[in-house]
Structure 1
Amino acid sequence: MSLRDKLETLIKKKEIEIGEYEGKIKEAKSYIQALQDSIRLLPKYDNEGNGTREVRIKPGSNPDKVHELLKTKGHPLHIKEIVEGIGLEYNRISRSTIRSALSPYVKNGQLFKLVSPGTIGLIEWEGKQQQFELDESEPEDIK
């Protein structure tokens, strides 16, 4: 076998090897595409994986302002306190605006929770709700 034949044999082996690698690359790309399609079908969850949906609020929006106000105050607030707390004049329109902005979050169980009629709290306070009620009803003579 001549040198030329040996080189041609080596070239053919490498071409076959390259073809096998290209096949594996094609399979891997198909697999990645299938995984990406699966991800698109799933809801977005938080990093802890506890099943709560990750909620993104547009910075500066009314829900964002309410969220920051509630976090700052540390307890549920009546809609009137919320409207005034975010710097709006309390009237029928501003009350409806804030209620409408928060309604989808309350209905979907995201971020906000209706604690009592007209009173909004944060979902993260759900376990603390009983504590809020106890604090408000504690008699004066017990210290």
Structure 2
Amino acid sequence: MEERKIIHEKLKKKEQEIQSLEEKLRSARIYVQALQDVLKLVDTNSAPETGESALKAGSAVNKARETILRRGKPVHINDLLEAVGKEVTRESRASLTSSIAAYVRRGEIFTRPAPNTFGLVELGHKAVVNPAPPQPPQGFGKIQPSPPVSHDMDDEIPLADDDGSKF
């Protein structure tokens, strides 16, 4: 009977050990999940230096980036459209230009070194700095004196009704 009691105590002790390990495992899984959640937040909130993870794989914008990387120099929008397998139409130009320009405005991933031409920040392609806007002509916005009005009767045009009779 003594042996039975010893085995029963060892069994109880092992079950407690298992329960303790399961709690540690559950805690470790929660910790891993929390780290994965934080990693997702960091990925979506930070602008990556290379732009790889910011662009959806297979998207036209990502293909445009890859084309510029391959060529190593800024590329015109028409050439980008051909490289990504899209027809060069007004609509496709507007669509891709708009998508890439959003990154240009934020100073992320793409630059615009020339009109309708895009480069990459990571390759050091500089954006064109717009020259100073043209200035208005001298005297613009000032009220100019009107020319003197002549009251000669010869200059006046007689008025008539719709039926052609004079007033």
The reply to whether TM is greater than 0.5 is: yes
Q: TM-score range by the shorter chain?
A: 0.5 to 0.7
Q: Return the TM-score normalized by structure 2.
A: 0.55
Letter in structure 2 aligned against 1:30: I
Q: Distance in 2 between matches of 1:68 and 1:42?
A: 24
Unaligned runs of 5+ in 1: 46-50, 130-143
Alpha carbon RMSD of aligned pairs, Å? 3.3
Residue 109 of structure 2 corresponds to residue 111 of structure 1: yes
The residue that corresponds to 2:95 in the other structure is: 97
Q: Structure 1 residues 20 and 114, CA, compared in 2 at 3 Å: closer, same or farther?
A: same
Q: Distance in 2 between matches of 1:112 and 1:41?
A: 23
- Identity score, percent: 32
CA shift, 1:5, in A, is 0.9
CA shift, 1:94, in A, is 4.2
CA contact (8 A) 1:106 1:113 kept: yes
The residue that corresponds to 1:29 in the other structure is: 29
For the residue of structure 2 that corresponds to 1:120, the secondary structure is strand
The residue that corresponds to 1:13 in the other structure is: 13
Q: Distance in 2 between matches of 1:83 and 1:7?
A: 76
Highest RCO, 1 vs 2 (Cα 8 Å, sep ≥ 6): 1
Residue 64 of structure 2 corresponds to residue 55 of structure 1: no
Q: Which deviates more, 17-26 or 115-124?
A: 115-124
CA contact (8 A) 2:55 2:62 kept: no
Deviations 1:113-140 (CA, angstroms, capped at 9, x unpaired): 11134331122221x65xxxxxxxxxxx
Q: Structure 1 residues 83 and 6, CA, compared in 2 at 3 Å: closer, same or farther?
A: closer
Q: Distance in 2 between matches of 1:23 and 1:40?
A: 26
CA shift, 1:80, in A, is 5.1
Q: 1:125 aligns with which of 123, 126, 131?
A: 123
**Higher share of residues assigned helix:** 1
Letter in structure 2 aligned against 1:101: S
Unaligned runs of 5+ in 2: 127-167
CA shift, 1:2, in A, is 1.0
